[in-house]
């Protein structure tokens, strides 16, 4: 009842990934710029699918009322996905889904997990573009593109966090260097803020952004995101910013750089320690 779909057949499930937040992800996988394993109910004509990104995200798409598949998924999750995640030191999952009918099925598929339910928002570019960020750089700070030289600089503080982010979101560093892009705000020999392209496919990408904890609430994310969005415009790529609604700082930054909301969606979150061993 559960079948691992060959990557050459991933296009069969593309129509099941409804919504901006899901189509962005699956298009990145289809482009070879994001990782994902897909299991379906039928190899020839899939109606329901689960995708795992080999890290913290699970995606439930298609027909939520596929009860036999959902019951089989419960055992599959406990006996295969959970052990595989523990090997990777994954401590929990974020579960996105294609429509609200999935909400009533979560207890069937993940019966041993304690799940929270939280809202997220997706932003993208509007008519206003950020400008003049260069003049707002503090003295001694530089906006550096993420390239081979930056990734090979052993003296750069916070570099391991950037490398971990790239390796989690991309198949490899080489793939990022050839198909991705991003910027780091660097000051005093360390990465203050980083902004990377995620889920890249033709004409669009996601935005991954993080500021080192000692430097938050000082406008550095706004500067770095402005440089990133400017580069997206140069490349003719539409960027998408997917944030927790409760993360008011992230939402405020998205709006400061001229993005506007295009979607609300909900996700379930559960710690792996509550899953059956």
How confident is the model at residue 274, as a pLDDT? Answer: 60
- Arithmetic mean of pLDDT, 24-32: 98
> Are 30 and 108 part of one and the same domain?
yes
> Are 84 and 135 part of one and the same domain?
no
Residue 131's pLDDT band (cuts 50, 70, 90): confident
How confident is the model at residue 127, as a pLDDT? Answer: 76
176 lies in a domain? yes
Show the domain range for 82. 3-120+267-274
Query: Around 220, how many Cα atoms within 13 Å sit in the side-chain half-sphere?
Result: 24
pLDDT tens, position by position, 138-152: 999 999 999 999 999
Residue 51's pLDDT band (cuts 50, 70, 90): very high
Residue 220's pLDDT band (cuts 50, 70, 90): very high
- Here the CATH number for the domain that contains residue 89 is 3.40.630
Q: Evaluate whether 50 touches 73 at the Cβ level (below 8 Å).
A: yes
> Are 250 and 140 part of one and the same domain?
yes
> Are 104 and 71 part of one and the same domain?
yes
> Are 134 and 116 part of one and the same domain?
no
Count up the domains in the chain and report the number: 2
- Arithmetic mean of pLDDT, 194-211: 98
- Arithmetic mean of pLDDT, 84-113: 94
**Which residue stretches of the chain are H helix?**
20-30, 67-76, 82-87, 106-109, 148-151, 159-169, 173-179, 220-235, 248-256
Residue 225 has pLDDT above 90, yes or no: yes
How confident is the model at residue 128, as a pLDDT? Answer: 72
What percent of the chain has pLDDT above 90? Answer: 94
How confident is the model at residue 202, as a pLDDT? Answer: 98
12 lies in a domain? yes
Q: 264: exposed, middle or buried (C-beta count within 10 Å: 0-12, 13-18, 19+)?
A: exposed
Query: Around 48, how many Cα atoms within 13 Å sit in the side-chain half-sphere?
Result: 19
Residue 126's pLDDT band (cuts 50, 70, 90): confident
182 lies in a domain? yes
Residue 124's pLDDT band (cuts 50, 70, 90): very high
How confident is the model at residue 275, as a pLDDT? Answer: 57
The mean predicted confidence, pLDDT, of the chain is: 95
> Are 156 and 213 part of one and the same domain?
yes
Alpha-carbon span 116 to 1, nearest angstrom: 28
- Lowest mean pLDDT segment, chosen from 35-49, 75-89, 119-133, 257-271: 119-133
Residue 189's pLDDT band (cuts 50, 70, 90): very high
């Amino acid at each position: 009842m559960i079948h691992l779909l060959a990557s050459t057949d991933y296009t069969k499930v593309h129509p099941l990934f409804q919504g901006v937040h899901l189509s962005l992800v699956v298009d990145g996988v289809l482009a070879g710029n994001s990782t994902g394993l897909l299991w379906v109910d039928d190899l020839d004509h899939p109606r329901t699918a689960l995708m795992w990104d080999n890290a913290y995200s699970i995606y439930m798409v298609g027909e939520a009322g596929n009860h036999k598949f959902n019951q089989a998924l419960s055992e599959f999750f406990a006996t295969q996905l959970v052990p595989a995640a523990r090997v990777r030191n994954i401590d929990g999952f974020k579960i996105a889904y294609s429509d609200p009918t999935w909400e009533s099925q979560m207890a069937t598929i993940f019966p041993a997990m304690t799940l929270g339910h939280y809202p997220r928002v997706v932003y993208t570019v509007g008519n206003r573009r950020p400008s003049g960020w260069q003049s707002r750089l503090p003295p001694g700070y530089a906006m550096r593109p993420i390239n081979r030289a930056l990734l090979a600089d052993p003296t750069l503080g916070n570099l391991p966090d950037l490398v971990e982010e790239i390796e989690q979101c991309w198949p490899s560093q080489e793939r990022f260097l050839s198909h991705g892009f991003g910027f780091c705000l660097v000051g005093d020999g360390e990465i203050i803020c980083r902004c990377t392209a995620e889920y890249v496919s033709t004409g669009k990408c996601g935005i991954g952004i993080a500021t080192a904890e000692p430097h938050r609430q000082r406008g550095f994310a706004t500067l770095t995101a402005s440089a990133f969005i400017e580069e997206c415009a140069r490349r003719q790529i539409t960027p998408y910013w997917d944030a927790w609604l409760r993360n008011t700082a992230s939402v405020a930054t998205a709006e400061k750089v001229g993005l506007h909301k295009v979607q609300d969606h909900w996700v379930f979150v559960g710690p792996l320690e509550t899953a059956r061993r």
